[in-house]
Chain A
Amino acid sequence: MSSSYEPLEWKFTQVFGDRSPVEEVTDVDVVSAIEFDETGDYIAAGDRGGRVVIFERAQEKQHGTSKKKDVSKTPEYKFHAEFQSHEPEFDYLKSLEIEEKINKIKWCTRHNTAHFLLTTNDKTIKLWKVFEKKVKQVATTNMPPSGSSNNGTVQAYRSTAAAIPVSQVKMPRLTTRETVVAASARRVFANAHAYHINSISLNSDGETYISSDDLRINLWNLSISDQSFNIVDIKPANMEELTEVITSAEFHPQHCNLFMYSSSKGTIKLGDMRSAALCDRSAKTFEEEEDPASKSFFSEIISSISDIRFSRDGRYILSRDYLTLKLWDINMESKPVKSIPIHDYLRGKLCDLYENDCIFDKFECAMNHDGSLLLTGSYHNYFHIYDRNMSGKGDGSGYGGLCLEATKFPPKQVKKGLGSKMKLGRSKTKDQKGLGISSPDINPDTIDYTKKALHVAWHPKENVIAVGAANNLYLYAA
């Protein structure tokens, strides 16, 4: 029901990363993964340098006056911890460099006051514990610290110690010096992937997770790092017959037995771990028949799915390919319920985008808590927010679409969207507050293709989004 629709006012709230307007971005600083934890109070961001940075939401002061959310108050996150998750490695058997780049981060269910995160690069998954550690110092000992009396032998040291009567022996006393946030690698899940890992996803049972690479998906137990079970294997007997690869995989948020994975051919397969140990025959295949008229040299490349996400209730699947964002109903396999062109103006530029490799960029997508709003990124640091309940127009606009540019400088105040404007009903003024860029205004020739808003994440409960582009993490709220 679009009549009750009231557009959200999105506001830029914060940016992390290098603030100075330097042109050259150091490669290791480029954000490569973003993830909110289950409460939304923490955001983890991984970069190409193998680091993970965690931001914590600043405690908002409790106003006794009203429980209702104060619109003017914006959520603020502050730095919480940073650790080096992965280091560059070299596989001597295959003569391959293994990059330290963090491909994905997932937060585990909390066990205690500490946080647990799974992080992965191309080959190795690690389980990290991030916790507040009291740095303690031993204040009193029975023996002088061995460093201070180097003249004595071990024997002498021992006999001195033995000379202390037991009645005078004291327990060491500790004093807490300071409290620091520390990270320690609890488990390392290695040597199970022959190809590059593209996704990890935790199961609702709280003890298992899957990891997927180009051809296989493995099932792990979080507490067992030396074995995993292969649940999907699409590797053909003869590698020359290879026609598709797995691009992303995710567990169903509630049903422990269901998971989905997407392929480079644009299909999404739903697997059921109940039906068989090896889920090669998928339970459902979501695929839209291609329109033969629009077939071109690039059709196959641009139909490759770069990211898939379940809605929180598990009813919908959001998928992103190069030009479109698709929303699938889990009960309808033949076509998506929504297919939203994000930047159709690029259709004429595919040749150039192929030349400069941009066509292989993998944009992520995200949904808000109730699955009504959809988010994905584009070039020129643009990112788009759509409303599931709004319909599109013939020219590809509509869907309550809102296009924003992630930038550290005061954003252009351009109101977008015929669609959203029409639905407003109450106001048709162009200088509507809020920000946005109308897609007809975008000239594909002036777009900066080096600025890519590849990574996006949505707060699990509120309208707070995180966008990762180059070496910056931008936060917006509505």
Chain B
Amino acid sequence: MAAEGDDSLYPIAILIDELKNEDIQLRLNSIRRLGTIARALGPERTRKELVPFLAESVDDEDEVLLALAEELGSFVEHVGGPDHAHVLLGPLEALANVEETVVRDKAVESLNKIAEALPTGVFEDSFVDLLRRLSQGDWFTSRTSACGLFPTAYPRISSAETKRELRTLFSALSRDETPMVRRAASTYLGRFAKQMERDVVRAEMIPLFVTLAQDEQDSVRLLAVENCALIGSMLTSDDFTNLILPTVRQCAQDKSWRVRYMVADHFNELCEAAGADITRNDLVPFFKTLLKDTEAEVRTAAALRVAGVCSAIPKEITIKHLLPCIKDLVSDANQHVRAALASVIMNLAPVFGKEDTIEYLLELFLQLLKDDFPEVRLNIISKLDAVNRVIGIELLSQSLLPAIVELAEDRQWRVRLAIIEYIPLLASQLGVEFFDEKLGNLCMTWLGDSVYSIREAATSNLKKLTEVFGVEWAQTNIIPKVVALYTHPNYLYRMTTLFAVGVLASVVGQDAINNSMLPLVIRMAQDKVPNIRFNVAKTLQVLIPLLDNASVQSRIKPCLVKMQDDTDRDVKFFATQAMQLC
């Protein structure tokens, strides 16, 4: 849009008219620039004309309403500062009632912003009124929105009476007949409780928490898990044991795998909230059962938390209690569980230390490296550096190699692509000798892969390798092999040579370009395929800035001049483009 950001080009009169244009894009544009309109009108007219007008515009498309809800959140300055901010509550209240969740959520977010700006007196009047209305609205949409306002509203209220009222309102919401409202209440219960004194939490919030944690709807119950951590972190360990732990236990043993999944997924937060002692004595047994859960989704989530949990408890306990479960997971029937484990198991090495890693973990790493499922092997390889720092690469390298070679030749090109991306990391871990001996050829075979993305990745891989091993290494090991490719009968592979030259040129230095690359590129300018020829022109464009003027003038320019007379239009075009750099 031409007028973007330049208000003078887009007069206020038009902006205002377009608030009601039939074209939704124009309406959106005007809504997004409500700030500009308000500034032009001044605070008084904004309050008296614009805001009432907007309050009547809440029957628009969701997209427009979402934008409106967002803009209104930063409107306090436009209506004349905090003293007048209450006028914004009307339109936002209406927006907090609409059926589209994203709009409601945004309206709640903006209401919270306004709430913070409101002066205390006004707040205790109008905002609390609004909260009452929303909490007792006829439709569940308003009641769900209300839940999100309690955590912000509560600490701003001074009167104990009103505070109690708010708690009563919230308590009603958490017993609402519609599951949507109970879900919203459960979602905000933890944050709401955080605003209260510990005694009040114990007396009033814990009962709500317990009720919600026993809801008949799975979707409500599973939200209790997060509250275990949030509320738990406010309590003493005794209270945690008495008030929270039973719910954690109940959730960890829930009939619904979704609830157990939530426990597994939040296990690190739970450990943190519970503190070291409770974690060690009470939570570890739950974690063990989750690692052995019947549902693969739960085991996957638990497997992902293994490293976090193990770092929170003494090593002996891990070895005694969790290691057997981890061993079982290594040969789990479900590939996703193994893949999840593979992605974190390497992080156990720093926790275990060198000797224990060798004693307990190494065989697990090796077993996962031989997994049937490529993602498992990939996940191990991608985390290699963590182990390398602890035990060195030697112990792994013998098993590593077959795994890499197999992945490098996997039928799925995405797997090949993934392993290529890890090659520079591996190269730096394995060292130059090992690499030359075992992996050097592999990197070259990828240049001839049948999938373009692999060839492309292979060329940039060469560049990264050069950065790791240095230019000299590249000159003796890579460049000759790349140059040799240009004789390939298929032009697509010849093209790879050009791409490789283009990519490598920036790292190998002038000598190498002059001696081995440039002659090759110039020779290829005579290729019979026009596609190659214009790529030569493009590659030359890359080379020109890297070389000194003498060789550009004496070697590249004549070649380009010739190419400008090519019969092919594209070749001419790119040659001319390159000539401009000379």
Task: State the A residues within 8 Å of B (CB).
Answer: 109-112, 114, 116, 129, 133-134, 138, 141-143, 157-158, 161-162, 164, 166, 169-172, 174, 186, 204-208, 223, 254-257, 273-277
Contact = CB atoms under 8 A, between A and B. Distances in A.
A161 B141 contact: no
Contact of A112 (B99, B254, B256): B99
A277 B294 CA distance: 10
B179 A206 contact: yes
B41 A169 contact: yes
5 contacts: A112-B99, A164-B12, A170-B16, A205-B179, A205-B220
A274 B56 contact: no
A28 to B, nearest CB: 31
B295 A169 contact: no
A96 B537 CA distance: 48
B17 A172 contact: yes
A111 B17 contact: no
A136 B490 CA distance: 66
Contact of B218 (A158, A186, A274, A276): A274
B8 A162 contact: yes
Contacts of B101: 223
Contacts of B139: 110-112
B13 A277 contact: no
A274 B257 contact: yes
Given A171-B16, A205-B218, A162 B11 contact: yes
Nearest to B2: A154
A143 B20 contact: no
A256 B216 contact: yes
A134 B97 CA distance: 18
A164 B11 contact: yes
Contact of B99 (A111, A141, A158, A255): A111
B12 A169 contact: yes
Given A143-B14, A256-B219, A129 B99 contact: yes
Given A143-B13, A161-B14, A206-B180, A277 B257 contact: yes
Given A138-B20, A141-B17, A207 B178 contact: no
Contacts of A112: 97-99, 139, 141
Nearest to A133: B59
Given A142-B16, A205-B218, 16 more contacts: A129-B99, A141-B17, A143-B14, A162-B13, A164-B13, A166-B12, A169-B40, A170-B16, A170-B49, A205-B179, A205-B217, A207-B180, A207-B219, A273-B218, A273-B256, A275-B257
Contacts of A170: 16, 49
Contacts of B258: 273-274
Interface of B: 8-14, 16-17, 19-20, 40-41, 49-50, 53, 56, 59, 97-101, 139-141, 178-180, 183, 216-220, 254-258, 294-297
A116 to B, nearest CB: 8
A312 to B, nearest CB: 16
B49 A277 contact: no
Given A112-B139, A205-B219, A169 B99 contact: no
Contacts of A141: 17
Nearest to B37: A169
Contacts of A109: 178
A288 to B, nearest CB: 29
A69 to B, nearest CB: 26
B29 to A, nearest CB: 14
Q: Most chain-A Cβ atoms within 10 A of its Cβ — which of B98, B179, B220?
A: B179
Contacts of B50: 171
Contact of B10 (A143, A158, A166, A204): A158
A464 B12 CA distance: 58
Nearest to A184: B61
A204 B179 CA distance: 8
Contacts of A277: 257, 295-297
Nearest to B49: A171
Given A112-B99, A172-B16, A256-B218, A274 B256 contact: yes
A196 B77 CA distance: 56
The 6 closest A-B pairs by CB, nearest first: A161-B11, A274-B256, A142-B13, A162-B11, A111-B99, A161-B13
A207 B222 CA distance: 14
Contacts of B217: 204-205, 256
A46 to B, nearest CB: 22
A157 B11 CA distance: 10
A242 to B, nearest CB: 26
A111 B141 contact: yes
B11 A276 contact: no
A110 B99 CA distance: 10
B179 A169 contact: no
Contacts of A158: 9-11, 14
Contacts of B20: 138, 172, 174
Nearest to B255: A274
A109 B181 CA distance: 13
A169 B12 CA distance: 8
Contacts of B16: 142, 169-172
Contacts of A171: 16, 19, 49-50, 53
A27 B507 CA distance: 72
B224 to A, nearest CB: 15
Nearest to B101: A223
Contacts of B99: 111-112, 114, 116, 129
A180 B217 CA distance: 38
